[in-house]
A and B are shown apart, each in its own frame.
Chain A
């Protein structure tokens, strides 16, 4: 069973949320809906850091590593000495490594967002469930 509270103002919503958490309701039993990000609500609910960070870090590192390895290994695969320049040139390859770091990091962060937010939420897409302009608190009981 779920108890639902609806508020028009952010202030009343936060006040009720704080009251519920102080009153012993576990944050995991509370679901909220908000028309815009409410950073204080995240603090009250003491939420864990988002997994998007991990996805971005892993993606970024993988992108940078790919950039360096891809350019270096292809240069070593067919050695082409030009003007006594190094076969594996770190400064020019850094440009490519940087771009791939951003590309992989950004796409991976987006993937992390989809995974972490359980989106696309097909049921919501096809249902009449809407993103409303009110602050809601849903408390799961029992």
Chain B
């Protein structure tokens, strides 16, 4: 926070009151004015974002989409891999906030704010990719449902059009959900700030004072938004999976795709929450409000979804074999032994093997181990999308039309740039907004 901070109120006498104020102090102190090293990190991410993403994108627009490696037969390169990856990352935010809220899981309160912020930022990252992939990004409005000059509408039967509805709805509802959760916390931050910042937080809190009318409507709204968001999250990644599964391409045309993608999304999202929250807990000194027990529960969720994903990898082979379809089985055999075998086995190693030691309680409670595992899972899940998209396209039906794809520097640069954008936004979030839901944490105090 770059503003003046009012002195923290002295603790009141009652133990419950003291505990509540301690939560406030812990979270608000994480928002203190960042040091030079913090700003340097934000600046570095911003620089990488501008140079690698905006610079490379500008170059691509200037030269044409041909500077990327996408060409026949692989028309969907790592831009689409990144799109699916970021949508997947976004999903765990909603899972942690909405689904765990509906299940009344206590451990969500440690992560839900960070996870929701991650969702919003990740959907922004995902949203960039269809535009980058378009080549002529300024024609993006062709995707929107409006009648063209011949009064012909977009094709509402196309999964790509469903995606427009699904992803834009997801972004909107995620932002609303994130903001609604922040309203009471903005009112708390208002109490700790002075000057211009106080006016900003006061306006953002919309005049929240915690009256009976406000809490009653707030509770109902939060529950309803969670109720809307939980099926939404399932639908969005199902729709993303149908971008592939609705096509007749071998390796894509399968009914397992929707649940497989949803489980993979939750898996990768849990990993990204760990990647972000473990350093944040240390840097922001949030040990009291983010206990190890809660990390252990998140690790269990990650382990469980890893096993679902691993099961899907095995079942896919079985389905391909049992289908009796030579193309279908051919593509799976090629994934494991062909041109992209290193990516395939890398994916299996990162997503199936690396998380298995989490069955050991001591490792689940080791933040260093969890952090390393989460990095492997992030890489593994990126590779999974690469394997699904690239291998299937590179060897479709006619051997004459087969070909390989290799990401070009422009594509790699844009990919790095999105990661920089993601971390830059998250670092800014961690200093300007309360990173833990204060009122929800207070609810646990009795």
Contacts and interface: CB of A to CB of B under 8 A. Distances in A.
Contact of A110 (B153, B169, B176, B214): B176
B63 interface: no
Contact of B20 (A45, A47, A51, A133): A133
A130 B191 contact: yes
A64 to B, nearest CB: 12
Nearest to B183: A119
Contacts of B21: 133
B173 A35 contact: no
Contacts of A37: 215, 218-219, 439, 443
A105 B172 CA distance: 12
A74 B148 CA distance: 12
Interface in A70-122: 70-71, 74-75, 77-78, 80, 85, 89, 92-93, 95-96, 98-100, 102-103, 105-107, 109-110, 112-114, 116-122
B172 A106 contact: yes
A26 interface: no
A41 B213 CA distance: 12
A100 B191 contact: no
Contacts of B208: 119, 121, 124, 131
Interface in B173-223: 173, 176-177, 180, 184, 187-188, 190-191, 202-203, 205-221
Contacts of A9: 14, 16-17
Contacts of B212: 30-32, 34, 41-42, 45, 47
A53 interface: yes
Contacts of A30: 212
A77 B218 contact: no
A10 interface: yes
B165 interface: yes
B206 A119 contact: yes
Greatest chain A CB density within 10 A among B191, B210, B218, B440 is at B210
A47 B188 CA distance: 26
B206 A35 contact: no
A38 interface: yes
A18 to B, nearest CB: 15
Contacts of B439: 35-37
Interface stretch (B129-137, B227-235, B337-345, B375-383): B227-235
A92 B220 CA distance: 32
Q: Which among B173, B180, B224 has the highest number of chain A CB atoms within 10 Å?
A: B224
B36 interface: no
A103 B13 CA distance: 46
B401 interface: no
Given A92-B156, A107-B176, A131-B190, A125 B232 contact: no
Dominant secondary structure of chain B at its interface with chain A:
helix
B165 A105 contact: no
A3 interface: no
Contacts of A70: 145
A52 B215 contact: no
A102 B169 contact: yes
A100 B162 CA distance: 11
Nearest to A49: B220
Contacts of A105: 224, 228
A35 B207 contact: no
Which one of B21, B24, B221 has the highest number of Cβ atoms from chain A below 10 Å of its Cβ? B221
B98 to A, nearest CB: 11
A50 interface: yes
Contacts of A35: 20, 210, 439, 442
Nearest to A115: B217
Contact of A95 (B16, B162, B207, B217): B162
A93 B219 CA distance: 32
A42 B153 contact: no
B206 to A, nearest CB: 4
25 contacts: A8-B16, A36-B439, A36-B440, A37-B439, A39-B219, A45-B212, A50-B220, A56-B228, A77-B151, A93-B156, A93-B157, A100-B169, A102-B173, A102-B231, A102-B235, A107-B172, A113-B221, A116-B216, A117-B218, A119-B207, A120-B207, A130-B190, A131-B188, A131-B191, A133-B442
Interface of A: 8-11, 30-39, 41-42, 45, 47, 49-53, 56, 60, 70-71, 74-75, 77-78, 80, 85, 89, 92-93, 95-96, 98-100, 102-103, 105-107, 109-110, 112-114, 116-126, 129-134
The 4 closest A-B pairs by CB, nearest first: A121-B207, A124-B207, A131-B187, A8-B14
Interface of B: 9, 12-14, 16-17, 20-21, 24, 145, 147, 151-153, 156-157, 161-162, 165-166, 169, 172-173, 176-177, 180, 184, 187-188, 190-191, 202-203, 205-221, 224-225, 228-229, 231-232, 235, 239, 439-440, 442-443, 446
Given A8-B14, A105-B228, 8 more contacts: A75-B153, A89-B157, A99-B232, A102-B235, A119-B206, A121-B208, A125-B203, A134-B17
